[in-house]
Structure 1
């Protein structure tokens, strides 16, 4: 898949995820506090799935049935000008409009198919370059910042306070965790945070943490351990990577911002579920205490902290104050809503062709047979050369092979799957870009008789499972070579294929030399070969003179 196709795939997924984001925001606004904090957090995972899964099943419930052409076939019509869809049940062909009067009076404004194709192709290529450049810059920046941050952590002193160590151990028992956690004093931060995907580290601002009471320290530790237990750091890594890929979509940025906020509230709810009801108020006071010592928000790469900003703290305090364990009725409602959004947003429109799961092949039809077409690759007639890449595409019955003619410029969409037989694919959709005849001088294309090859390999005991056609043919050639060598009396034991072929050539040359009356005794192979060539050359000259005389 080239850069342009990859960008189109990312763009398609990003646009569809925008619809899912809109659905989630709408549902959250309607239900608000009627759904538990865990639901508000985990529902954002549907956005991540929509962004990273290009292949989705079709469903009549899909919201994309409302606009499948705009979101799922972003480029299916932008290569065609003045075209109409061929009237068959699947609309598998788009052929040029042959009505000469259709655009009368508008000739000066009309663009040719090639002009439209080149324009949009150039735009996508440029946008693809801009996209990959932006993605690489963001990822590189993140990598540098994260590396520098962890490099600085190595210079920080560890917290080996006995009381802190004992308190952390008790909190781990309370949360039923066995992870080995290193406590580090870091005065560069102003709020307790936990970082580290493989080796978790609890970062403690020395000045602030020593001002907290033992009970407040316990709440801080429980909060940070909850982030670790729920794998929030790993999830943050995923969201940052996906966000970097979709940097051009502000809705994705907003969705992950809301996801991080909802994650903090969900973390509070999880901690409260492990505390007594009488401790809920004290837990809320601890957050306020941390906030009062927070001079400004600090950006710690891939870390989870207690406080972000005052607006967020206000929301969290309100949720802590009104916290109640989720009832069975609310749990069922939450589950139904999640499944409903998934069915509507994570499925494709009925009858749609997922162009993001297909590869496009643009070229000219150089030949056709009873089952398919031969297409030589090239975006213009000047690009088509005798050594151009070419492929054979089988055309299913519902695509109406008879409507395709030699000389047409086509775009073939086919599944991006490794074929057992090279350069042979099954077309999913064929779009005719130019409907005129051209003279293409292309050598005949050799196509393998797959059934015959597989049957022959089976008869000779060759295992074909998981092998390409070249590997199967190579084994067949090897078997036939061994049989041929034995027939002429060559001992093949311990010899390489090249040695056996050299001996066969030697034997056949000797036989040919004897047939034309050449004495081979005491002569080298080169001398014999030269004499054979001279005899054939003399015969050719004699035949030429005879023709001239006639």
Structure 2
């Protein structure tokens, strides 16, 4: 039933799109019918036929569906049923270990390890629910399928009867009729032999057969009509053959089989057949000549008087296949007004049909936000200072700007944007990890959306083990999008996966199936309103925020309330590799700006790195000057006390600590020893912390004293 519902949903969206194209063609034909040739009018219907036949189309900015994308977004998806809401809170964490003391809020100082972005899932128990299609969708799908099977059964049985009927018909042997047939084939340039049959099977001539065509002429027609009228009739049937109308007619029947529930398609097929007959008349007159227009029209009128009937088989192509007065008038009017050369398509007509084909046989182009490369500075943009492979932003607009790949995000009012982390080192291995908060009363949950290229190794436990017996696997369909739902039996952890435009999306750890589906259905490329809403003070939320470019530095400077120092190189030996804003206390009051330096000739050797900390708060300096001891919290309420010694460096009073370990008595024996220097300038307190016994310590401190406060404009 799931597969049937998926197919039905394809039919549903396909028939809606095709109906829009059909209505457009009807409007064009109604407005410009005086200026459209018979052949051009039929060509317009072929565009509708192709739209109805093919399962998918490429996207294009020229598509007519671009103007109606908001309608698609407004259409609600097929809701799942049978879920049981859970009050459990599921959380994902992406935080670095930060010791609970006011001095050690910087992760680099903890065990002297570099900061990495850990993507860890703290998996808690979730209620499992079985998502399925609504009962109404299942019933309608079954009805549609039953109708389609009925139609295809009728079509094949009819084709079988026609093949059987051919064996019962009498081949035409009359030399005069065969001579007229030969003359017609010569005029139309047909060398392939086409058999002629006669009998009393039907009252109107018709052509049948896709691979081996044959023509039927009723006995009354063969006996009673003069040679001139037989010429017109046979020319009409051969014109169908030359125009491949038997193939188009069969495809029309196949379309009706699939789209039988759509009344607009029935109207289209009827009008298409009428246009096909008129176009065929025009082709006959193009071959026979303009002088045959009046005799050809008289043949048609005479034929109507003698043989027209309402019992004609709708699958066949008749010389006269309708008694509809309006259609008859259209055919006679075209014949009367026919001029030699009017059947041919002009260059302008070809361009118009091609343009309409591009506009209607393509889907709406997905809006792609403007993105700048992560490593290339665009003209007028702020440039990169620290080209980190991992970047975390509390501003979605900034993340969209630096991301090399556009991606969608949920436009779901119940979610509050937290942060987005991008992995930018390799575009093929690109990853975006977006975190959202969900508040229900006093409860708080943190959910994440992970985005990677389809060709990248996903590295997800549930995804990699989806064939395991411990994984419940289910496929949902959402607006034509296949959603893979994986639930781990052991802990009911449920993740949702799907692919769009070369990207794989994962919505992780959702405890409410209906709400998760609603979140996925709201996915879209962020527009201006979303970019405005999706902002978060990531420093307040996570205690820190990194600086990657001059735009980040400008924002951090505004938050700090002062211009920090940021020398990019020192002594020709050390370079700055990272800068960040952070709060020194858990109350998020005391603000600092930290710069990390590494040896240029020994990158990655963290024991030969040092940190330059800056704060607009001299209380730490005043306290250690008063007591001769640097005191910082290790584990509340326990403090670590380190003795200091006063020095004179570059004419300023500086306090140097003795060696100490970051976590005091809780530190491991192999943890790096640290030495810190403190001084004050213009109501600013500066601290430099060295790991191990780095040489040139006092020279480095002196260089930092000489450094000027940063002027961001000079960094460009």
TM norm structure 2: 0.46
Counterparts in 2 of 1:429 and 1:288: CA distance versus 1, 3 Å: farther
Q: How does 1:232-251 map to 2 (within 5 A)?
A: 232-251=245-264
Q: How does 1:100-115 map to 2 (within 5 A)?
A: none
- How many equivalent pairs are there? 367
Q: How does 1:341-420 map to 2 (within 5 A)?
A: 341-351=356-366, 371-375=458-462, 386=470, 388-389=472-473, 409-414=494-499
Counterparts in 2 of 1:350 and 1:307: CA distance versus 1, 3 Å: same
2:167 corresponding residue in structure 1: 154
2:214 corresponding residue in structure 1: 201
Residue aligned with 1:44, SS = helix
Counterparts in 2 of 1:429 and 1:168: CA distance versus 1, 3 Å: same
1:261 CA displacement: 0.5
1:264 corresponding residue in structure 2: 277
Residue aligned with 1:56, SS = coil
Q: Which has the higher helix share?
A: 1
Q: CA RMSD in A?
A: 3.8
Q: How does 1:44-443 map to 2 (within 5 A)?
A: 44-68=45-69, 70-71=71-72, 76=77, 78-79=79-80, 118=132, 120-300=133-313, 302-310=315-323, 311=325, 312-325=327-340, 331-351=346-366, 371-375=458-462, 386=470, 388-389=472-473, 409-414=494-499, 428-430=504-506, 434-435=510-511
Find out whether 1:3 has 2:4 as its counterpart: yes
1:247 CA displacement: 0.8
Q: Distance in 1 between matches of 2:512 and 2:295?
A: 80
Residue aligned with 1:54, SS = coil
Counterparts in 2 of 1:51 and 1:339: CA distance versus 1, 3 Å: same
Residue aligned with 1:66, SS = helix
For structure 1, the 5+ residue unaligned runs are 82-112, 354-364, 378-383, 392-405, 417-425, 438-550
1:352 CA displacement: 7.0
Q: Distance in 2 between matches of 1:178 and 1:336?
A: 32
Residue aligned with 2:34, SS = helix
1:26 corresponding residue in structure 2: 27
1:290 CA displacement: 0.9
Instruction: State the Cα deviation string for residues 160-186 of structure 1 (Å, max 9, x = none).
Output: 111111110111011100121111112
Residue aligned with 2:196, SS = strand
Q: Distance in 2 between matches of 1:306 and 1:376?
A: 61
1:20 CA displacement: 0.4
2:442 corresponding residue in structure 1: none
2:440 corresponding residue in structure 1: none
Residue aligned with 1:153, SS = helix
1:71 CA displacement: 4.5
Residue aligned with 2:40, SS = helix
Residue aligned with 2:216, SS = strand
Instruction: State the Cα deviation string for residues 508-543 of structure 1 (Å, max 9, x = none).
Output: xxxxxxxxxxxxxxxxxxxxxxxxxxxxxxxxxxxx
Q: Distance in 2 between matches of 1:201 and 1:40?
A: 27
Q: Distance in 2 between matches of 1:39 and 1:200?
A: 26
Mapped contact 1:186–1:205 kept (Cα < 8 A): yes
Q: Distance in 2 between matches of 1:58 and 1:252?
A: 24
Q: Distance in 2 between matches of 1:432 and 1:325?
A: 68
TM norm structure 1: 0.59
Counterparts in 2 of 1:431 and 1:268: CA distance versus 1, 3 Å: farther
Q: Distance in 1 between matches of 2:235 and 2:73?
A: 45
Q: Per chain length, whose mean CA-contact separation is higher, i.e. which structure has more relative contact order (CA < 8 Å, sep 6+)?
A: 1
Mapped contact 2:239–2:284 kept (Cα < 8 A): yes
Mapped contact 1:194–1:200 kept (Cα < 8 A): yes
1:12 corresponding residue in structure 2: 13
Instruction: State the Cα deviation string for residues 184-237 of structure 1 (Å, max 9, x = none).
Output: 112121111111112222111111332111111111111111001111111111
1:408 CA displacement: 5.6
1:242 CA displacement: 1.6
Counterparts in 2 of 1:135 and 1:352: CA distance versus 1, 3 Å: farther
Mapped contact 2:37–2:342 kept (Cα < 8 A): no
Instruction: State the Cα deviation string for residues 346-391 of structure 1 (Å, max 9, x = none).
Output: 22222179xxxxxxxxxxx9xx9994534479xxxxxx96264599
Mapped contact 1:189–1:298 kept (Cα < 8 A): no
Counterparts in 2 of 1:209 and 1:121: CA distance versus 1, 3 Å: same
Residue aligned with 2:279, SS = helix
Instruction: State the Cα deviation string for residues 117-164 of structure 1 (Å, max 9, x = none).
Output: 54x443333322222111011110122223223312311221111111
1:274 CA displacement: 1.3
Q: How does 1:438-517 map to 2 (within 5 A)?
A: none
Counterparts in 2 of 1:338 and 1:80: CA distance versus 1, 3 Å: farther
Residue aligned with 1:33, SS = coil
1:86 corresponding residue in structure 2: none
Q: Which has the higher strand share?
A: 2
1:345 CA displacement: 1.5
Instruction: State the Cα deviation string for residues 313-361 of structure 1 (Å, max 9, x = none).
Output: 22111110011245799824423332232222122222179xxxxxxxx
Counterparts in 2 of 1:153 and 1:54: CA distance versus 1, 3 Å: closer
1:6 CA displacement: 1.5
Q: Which has the larger radius of gyration?
A: 2
Q: Which is further off, 260-269 or 191-200?
A: 191-200
